[in-house]
Structure 1
Amino acid sequence: MTVRLVLVSPALSEALREARFDDGRPLDPVGLRRAREAAGTLPGAGPAFASPTVRCRETAAAMGLDAVEDPALAALDAGRWRGETLAEVGAREPAALAAWLGDPGAAPHGGESVRAVCDRTAAWLDALPERVGRAVAVIEPELVRAAVVRALGAPDEAFWRADVPPLTAVELSGRAGRWNVRMGRPLAPLDGDT
């Protein structure tokens, strides 16, 4: 049986607006409203999963999903950069930030490298049993990127080339080692839309 997995990025939070490494903040009022508006926009799904971050759990709940938190879907561990903006890190540690953005194996923050996130995400995808059929996972944008990179067989260096807007869906179909990708379906009006 083919697995049909919809990966949903979380709705807006203050941390996302500020380009801040996740600091556990909840969705902002606009994000919460848009997640509620997106309820019912997903095709009938079987099991639902969520990253164990506040914004992913809140997005899943607002969309009416009874999602199971999965530790394998944790956000990228940003180490000592957690809670800081990219601008703050860049001002204080420009060489370290450049290394992290340019080398998928680098983890100058003492956390997890891009390669490690890609490996962890691919392992989670490969462990999905074929009997799942349809499923949905509300996961952090970096995990959506990692899933796309690995599903397409792209090099880890392509990680930063995939933009993942808030509250959008990427659909994977296939099975371990062989995935097709359908990207970027908005689940609610984007900023500026009415």
Structure 2
Amino acid sequence: MTSRVILVSPAMSPSLRQARFYDGDSLDDTGAARARAAAGALPAPARTVVAPGARCAETAAALGLDGPRTPELAGLDVGRWRGRTLDEVGAAEPEAVTRWLTDPDWAAHDGESVRRLCERIGRWLDGVRETDGRTVAVVEPEAVRAAVVHALGLPAAAFWRLDVAPLTATELSGRSGRWNVRLGRPLE
């Protein structure tokens, strides 16, 4: 049995454009238009799942994908930093930002640690490995990072070394207890 997972990052939104911690905003006009233009770029899935955020749901709809919102695929909970830019948080809490970027267990922003996110996404990915056929999941960029960290058995500290561009597909294929990864194909 071969499992295939295609992780699709959301199209551009104001928070992505402004390097602001996600606060539930919708796609911007350019992002929505690019997602609509990419409809049909993915192979037909056996199943589709969508992270609970608005920009993931809107990206899925624009791509012509329909699937349940799946809470365990939510992006990283950044607690009190939600809605703020990285520059704002860095100016107000420089030591906290440094710790957040270097310690995968740190979560003093009253949110979730990177390690917990990687574990949560990893549990979901392990469950998908037991299914046959292709799963398309429209998820936040940090969920893509966490899936790659888990799939390749990387240390959680590698999380920040992975860049995920908007509206790209990262493909995982699993068999014999392991995953292979094809990173960041733009959807066009």
Classify the TM-score, shorter chain.
over 0.9
Aligned pairs, how many? 188
> Which letter does structure 1 place at the counterpart of 2:184?
G
1:147 paired with 2:147, answer yes
> When the two structures are superposed, what TM-score results if normalisation uses the length of structure 2?
0.97
Please report how far the alpha carbon of residue 75 of structure 1 lies from its aligned counterpart in structure 2 after TM superposition.
1.3
The 5-angstrom pairing of residues 1-194 of structure 1 reads 1-128=1-128, 130-175=130-175, 177-188=177-188
Aligned partner of residue 128 in structure 1, secondary structure = helix
Aligned partner of residue 181 in structure 1, secondary structure = strand
Q: CA RMSD in A?
A: 1.1
Which consecutive unaligned segments of at least 5 residues does structure 1 have? 189-194
> When the two structures are superposed, what TM-score results if normalisation uses the length of structure 1?
0.94
Tell me how far apart the structure 1 counterparts of residues 176 and 103 of structure 2 sit (CA, whole Å).
Answer: 26
Tell me how far apart the structure 1 counterparts of residues 114 and 23 of structure 2 sit (CA, whole Å).
Answer: 18
Please report how far the alpha carbon of residue 73 of structure 1 lies from its aligned counterpart in structure 2 after TM superposition.
0.5
Give identity over the alignment, percent.
Answer: 62
Deviations 1:138-190 (CA, angstroms, capped at 9, x unpaired): 000000000011111111110011000000000000058411101111003xx
Aligned partner of residue 136 in structure 2, secondary structure = strand
Tell me how far apart the structure 1 counterparts of residues 177 and 72 of structure 2 sit (CA, whole Å).
Answer: 18
Q: Aligned residue for 1:191?
A: none
> Is the CA contact (8 Å cut-off) linking 1:78 and 1:109 kept in structure 2?
yes
Tell me how far apart the structure 1 counterparts of residues 95 and 52 of structure 2 sit (CA, whole Å).
Answer: 30
Check 1:176–1:16 CA distance in 2 against 1; reply closer, same or farther (3 A cut): farther
